[in-house]
Chain A
Amino acid sequence: MVNKNTYLIAGIITLTLVIISLYVGYNVEVNTYNQLHDQMLENSMEGESYLLLTNFLEDKEIHGNNDNMTDTCKILKSMLDKQSAETSSLYNQVYRLETSTIISDKKKYNLLRKQYFLANFRLYLSYKSYIEKCGANNDNLQLILFFYTAEEECPDCIVQGRVLDTLRQNCKNVRVFAFPTDVNMNLLDVMKMSYKIDRDPTVIIDNKDVIFEGLTSYAQIRRYINVCK
C-alpha cells in the first residue's frame, strides 16, 4: 500500500513545478516587454535625430552653406523610409505581444501603444518637412491620414484599412498614417479637433486638403493621387 505522505510529496512537487513555470513565464514576458520598450526608445531617438538634422540643414541653408541638396535629400529619404518600416513593425509587435500576454499586466502595453502613436505622428511631420525641403524631389510622395475607431466595432474601418493597404501596395510613393480617434491622448484629441473629425473612418489626403468621411472606395481616393509609382 502507498504511504499517505506520498500524496503530500506529489502535491508539493506539482505546486513547485507550477510556481517555477509561472516564474519562468513571467520573466519571459517581462524581458520581451523590456526589449520592445528599448526598441521604442531607439525608434524615438532616430526620430529625434532626424528632426535635429533637418533643423541643422535649415540653418546651413540660411547661411548659404548647403550646396549639395540632392545628396542631402537622398540621405533624408532613406532615413525616413527606414523609420517608416521600423515604426510599422513596432506596432505589429506591440499588438501581438499584448494579445499573447498571459501573466503580466496588459495595461503597460497601453503606454507602448501611445508611444507608437507619437512615433507615427513624428514620422508624419518628418515626411511633411522632407517634402517641403526637398520639394517632393521627383519622389512625388503623397501623405494620407487615416482616422479609425480602435475600441469599438467598426467594419467600415476594417474595409477602409484594406483599401488603403491596396493603395500602398500599388503606389509605392503613398504613405499612410493611421490614428485611432477613441484613444485617450491629447495629441489625437487635437488632431480630431483641427480636422473636425466626427465620423469613422475618415481619410485625409494631405496636400490636397481633401477629406473623405465614411467608407471611401479605392477609385475615389486614387483619383486624387496624381502620380502612382
Chain B
Amino acid sequence: MRLVDRTDIKRGKTFKSKRHPHYAILFIILLMGILFYTFQNINPFWIVIGANSVLLYVSVLFLVIYATGDELDNFNDTNENLPTLSVVIPCYNSGNVIINSVEHVLNSDYPKPIEVIAVDDGSTDSNTKEILKRLEHDKGIRVIYKRHNAGKAAALNTGIKYSHGEYIACLDSDSYVEKDAFKNMVKTMQKDKNYGAVTAFIKVYKPNSFITWLQEIEYYCAFGFNMLSYARLNSIFVTPGPMTLFKKEVLDEIKGFDETNPTEDLEICWRIRKRGYKIGYSKDAVVYTEVPSKWKPLLKQRERWYRGKYYNVRIHKDMMFNPKYNIFGMFVLPISFFSEISAFALISSVSYTLGKNIFYGILNTLGMIQTGLSHQIFSCLLPGTGPMAAVQMSAILLLPFAFVSIASYRMGIKKLKWNHIALIPVFLFGYGVFISYAYVVSVIKEFYGCAYKW
C-alpha cells in the first residue's frame, strides 16, 4: 500500500496526497524510543561516526576514482555529423529570467540551427506572457501556450511532442548555458551509442551571499566531483532539471516525463537506465542556474528533492540490490540512503545533547538547580561535550570530506583563493547540519503524506 497516493492533476502545482498522521506518529514514537535507549548506552559520538563510516568510504572511493580515472571527454573535435538540436524551456511566471536563458541558448556556438521551444505552463503573470510574445516575435523562438498550469513535467512533454530535433535539451527557464555547452554534450552523447541522456556541470549563477556561496560548494561537489565519479562508475543518479540532453528516440520510447512525479528529473533517469541505456556526463558543458537565496525556500526545495527520492524508490524498488543494474543497483542506490541514516544520527545526537543542556539550563535559570555542589552530584549542563579525543578523531575522519570539497572547488574554479578554503569548514559542519535537518524533515513529511509544494 502506498503511503502517498499519486493523483492526476489537471491544474495546479500541488500534488495532493492522503494524510496518514498515525503512521507518522507511530514512526516518531518508535524512533524516539530506539534513539533514547541507544543514547543511554552508547556515546552519541560513536553513533554519528558509525553512520558516517559508509559515507567516509564513498568519499575515499570517489577521491581515488578522481585521482586515477580516465578522462571522459575523449572525442574528435570535429563538427561533422552533429545532430539537429531542440531546446525545450518550460516557463511558469518566470518572465524576468527566461529572457536571459533564451539569449544564452541563441548565443551558443552549436554549428547547426537550434530549435528553441518555450512552453508557457499557464502563467498568471501578464509580464511573462508579454515577454514570451516579444521573444517569439524578436528572437524567432516558438512558444506554446497552455491554458492551465499542469506542472513542469507536463510542460516538457508538450515541448518534446512539438520538437523536431534528434536531440532534445530540457532547460530550466532560470538556467543559462555556456556557449559551448551544447556542443560538448552532443559530442559526449555521440561517444557511446548506448547513452540515452547526458548531464552537464551545473553551477550556481553569480553567488553573492552566504547561502549561495554554500550552495556553490555543494553544486561543485554534487554536479561536478560526485557526478564525475558516478559517471566513471556508470551510475549517474539523476538527470538534473536545470539542463539535460536526451535522445528524442529514447524519450519517445519511454513516453517522456512522468507528469505525476514530484521529481521528474530523477524518475526519468532511473527509467532510462531500466531500458538499458547509459547516462553520460560532460564536465566541460557548463550550465549556470539560479538558486534560493533564503533558507526557507532552500529548505522547501530540498524537502522536495529528498522526498522525491523516497517516492521514486517506492516506484522503482525493483532496482534496489538488483545485479541487473550493476553498480547502480548494488551499491550507489542503497548507499544513497546512508545520507539519511547519517542525518538522523547527527540530528538526534545534537538534539539529545542540546536538549539536555537547554533543559537543565532552564532549570538553572529558574533556580531549581545550580552548579557547584550540585554539580558534584550530577553535571548536566555539559554532558559528554568537549571530549578532546572526539574532536581529534573527527578532524581525521573529516579529512576525506574536506579533500572532496577542495577537489570539487578545483573542478569549478580553477584557482582557489583563501576565502574559498575558509568556507569549507562552514560547509562541512554548518551546512551539513542544515542538510541533515532537511533529510529528517523530508522523511517525516513523507511518512505523514504531506502535499508536495514548489
Chain A residues at the B interface, C-beta cutoff of 8 Å: 1-3, 6-7, 9-11, 13-14, 17-18, 20-22, 24-26, 28-29, 32, 91-92, 95-96, 99-103, 146, 148, 150, 154, 157-159, 161-162, 164-166, 168-169, 176, 178
Which among B57, B63, B374 is the interface contact of A11 at CB below 8 angstroms? B57
Contacts of B382 in A (CB 8 A): 96
Do residues A25 and B377 form an inter-chain contact, with CB atoms below 8 A? no
B232 within 8 A of A: yes
Shortest Cβ distance from residue B175 to the other chain A in the assembled complex, whole angstroms: 30
Chain A residues positioned under 8 Å from B68 (CB to CB): 3, 6
Contacting pair B370 A165 (CB below 8 A) = yes
Closest to A101 in B: B387
Interface residues of B in 39-66 (CB under 8 A from A): 43, 45-46, 53, 56-57, 60-61, 63-65
Q: Is the CB of B375 within 8 A of A92?
A: yes
Q: Which of B45, B53, B57, B382 has the most CB of A within 10 A?
A: B57
- Contacting A161 at CB < 8 Å: which of B376, B387, B393? B376
Interchain CB contact under 8 A, A32 and B64: no
Q: Which of B45, B233, B397 contacts A102 (CB 8 A)?
A: B45
Report Cα–Cα, A100/B393, bound state, in Å.
Answer: 13
Interface centre among A21, A28, A96, A164 (most CB of B within 10 A): A21
Closest to B396 in A: A21
**B383 within 8 A of partner (CB):** yes
Contacts A29-B389, A101-B387, A102-B387 known; A17 to B374 CB distance under 8 Å? no
Interface residue from A96, A103, A162 paired with B379 (Cβ < 8 Å): A96
Question: 19 A-B Cβ contacts within 8 A?
Answer: A2-B69, A2-B232, A10-B63, A14-B56, A21-B392, A21-B397, A24-B396, A29-B388, A92-B375, A95-B376, A96-B379, A100-B385, A102-B46, A148-B377, A157-B377, A158-B369, A158-B374, A158-B378, A169-B372
Question: Which residues of chain B have C-beta atoms less than 8 A from A11's C-beta?
Answer: 57
Seen from chain B, the residues whose Cβ lies within 8 Å of a Cβ on chain A are 43, 45-46, 53, 56-57, 60-61, 63-65, 68-69, 232-234, 367-379, 382-390, 392-394, 396-397, 399-400
Decide: A24 and B393 in contact? CB cutoff 8 A.
yes
Docked Cα-Cα span, A24 to B68, in Å, equals 29
Question: How far is B331's CA from A6's CA once the two chains are assembled, in angstroms?
Answer: 14
B318 to chain A, nearest CB (A): 24
The listed residue with most B CB atoms (<10 A of its CB), out of A9, A102, A150, A176, is A102
Residue from the list B64, B384, B397 in contact with A6, Cβ < 8 A: B64
B374 and A162 contact, CB distance less than 8 A: yes
Contact B64 A9 (CB under 8 A): yes
Which residues of A lie under 8 Å from residue B63 when comparing CB positions? 10
Chain B interface mostly helix, strand, loop or mixed?
A: helix
Q: Which 3 A-B pairs have the closest CB atoms?
A: A161-B374, A100-B387, A25-B389
CB distance from B343 to the nearest CB of A (A): 20
Chain B residues contacting A25 (CB-CB under 8 Å) are 389-390, 392-393
Is A1 touching B392 in the complex (CB atoms < 8 A)? Answer: no
Please tell me if the beta carbons of B383 and A6 are within 8 angstroms of each other in the complex.
no
Complexed CA–CA distance, A22 and B377 (Å):
31
Q: Which residue of A lies closest to B44 (CB)?
A: A102
Q: Which of A18, A103, A148 contacts B397 (CB 8 A)?
A: A18
A102, B43: Cβ atoms closer than 8 Å: yes
Shortest B76–chain A CB gap in Å is 21
Interface centre among A7, A11, A25, A166 (most CB of B within 10 A): A25
Q: Are A32 and B388 in contact (CB under 8 A)?
A: yes
The secondary-structure label for the interface of chain A is helix
Residues of chain B with a CB closer than 8 A to A2's CB: 65, 69, 232-233
Q: From B65, B374, B378, B390, give the contact of A165 (CB < 8 A).
A: B374
Interface centre among A24, A100, A154, A178 (most CB of B within 10 A): A100
B40 CB, nearest partner CB in chain A, Å? 13
CA distance A226 to B249 in the complex (A): 97
Query: Given A92-B379, A100-B386, A165-B374 in contact, is the A1-B232 Cβ separation under 8 Å?
Result: yes
Q: Which residue of B lies closest to A16 (CB)?
A: B60
Query: In the complex, A103 Cα to B68 Cα: how many Å?
Result: 36
Complex Cα distance A158/B377, Å?
7
- In the complex, A154 Cα to B378 Cα: how many Å? 10
Inside 8 A of A178's CB, which chain B residues have their CB?
373, 376-377
Name the B residues within 8 Å of A28 (CB-CB): 388-389, 392
B390 near A6: Cβ-Cβ < 8 Å: no
- Nearest B residue to A154 by beta-carbon distance? B377
Name the distance in Å between A209's Cβ and chain B's nearest Cβ: 22
Of all chain B residues, which has the CB nearest A28? Answer: B389
Query: What is the bound-complex CA distance between A28 and B395, given in angstroms?
Result: 13
> Which chain B residues lie closer than 8 Å to A24 at the CB level?
389, 392-393, 396
The answer to whether B370 touches A162 (Cβ under 8 A) is yes
Contact between B384 and A13, CB atoms less than 8 A apart: no
CB of A14 within 8 A of CB of B60, answer yes
Nearest to B232 among chain A residues (CB) is A2
With a cutoff of 8 Å between Cβ atoms, the chain B residues found around residue A102 in the complex are 43, 45-46, 387, 389-390
Partner of B373, one of A20, A103, A165: A165
Q: Which of B63, B65, B370, B383 has the most CB of A within 10 A?
A: B370
Chain B residue numbers with a CB within 8 Å of A154 are 377
Nearest chain B CB to A7's CB is how many angstroms away? 7
**Interface contact A20-B387, CB-CB below 8 Å:** no
- Flag if A17 contacts B396 (CB, 8 Å): yes
Docked CA distance A6–B229 (Å): 12
User: In the complex, how many angstroms separate the beta carbon of B101 from the nearest chain A beta carbon?
Assistant: 36
* Nearest B residue (CB) for A29: B389
Query: Would you give the shortest CB distance from B191 to chain A, in whole angstroms?
Result: 14
Contact B373 A95 (CB under 8 A): no
Closest Cβ of chain A: how far from B380's Cβ, in Å? 10
Q: Are A1 and B234 in contact (CB under 8 A)?
A: yes
List B contacts of A32 (CB < 8 A): 388-389
| Minimum Cβ distance to chain A for residue B329 (Å) | 16
Nearest-neighbour CB distance to chain A for B85, whole angstroms, equals: 29
Task: Name the A residues within 8 Å of B367 (CB-CB).
Answer: 162
Contacts of A20 in B (CB 8 A): 396
